[in-house]
C-alpha cells in the first residue's frame, strides 16, 4: 500500500468521525427536536406551572386519557 492510499483512508475516517461527532452534539437539529430531547432528559423542565383557562384542564386530562388508550391498544396489537 502506498502512502497516498493511507492518506485517503485517514481523510475518510476523519470525515466519518466529524460527521458522527456533529450528529452526537446535535448540530443540524431543529428547534422542535432540541426541545423534545431537552424534555426527554428532564421532563420536569417541560411541565406547565401556570393557571389553566376555563375547560382547558379537563380537555388536557381527556386528551391524555385518549392518547394513553391509543398507545396501549397499539402495544397490544404489536404483541399479537
Same domain, 60 and 36: no
Distance CA 10, CA 18 (A): 12
Contact at 8 Å (CB) between 60 and 53? no
pLDDT in tens, 33-66: 777 777 788 878 777 788 878 888 899 999 999 9
Same-domain status, 39 and 58 = no
Q: Ramachandran region of residue 42, left (φ > 0), alpha (ψ -120 to 50) or beta?
A: beta
Do residue 5 and residue 21 come from a single domain?
A: yes
b/e map 7-26, b = 16+ CB within 10 Å: eeeeeeeeeeeeeeeeeeee
Mean pLDDT of the chain: 78
Domain that holds residue 29: 1-47
pTM over 0.75: no
Amino acid at each position: 500500500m502506498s502512502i497516498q492510499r493511507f492518506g485517503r483512508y485517514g481523510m475518510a475516517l476523519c470525515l466519518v468521525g466529524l460527521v458522527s461527532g456533529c450528529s452526537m452534539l446535535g448540530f443540524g437539529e431543529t428547534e422542535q427536536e432540541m426541545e423534545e430531547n431537552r424534555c426527554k432528559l428532564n421532563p420536569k423542565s417541560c411541565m406547565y406551572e401556570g393557571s389553566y383557562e376555563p375547560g382547558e384542564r379537563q380537555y388536557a386530562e381527556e386528551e391524555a386519557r385518549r392518547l394513553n388508550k391509543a398507545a396501549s391498544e397499539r402495544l397490544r396489537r404489536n404483541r399479537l
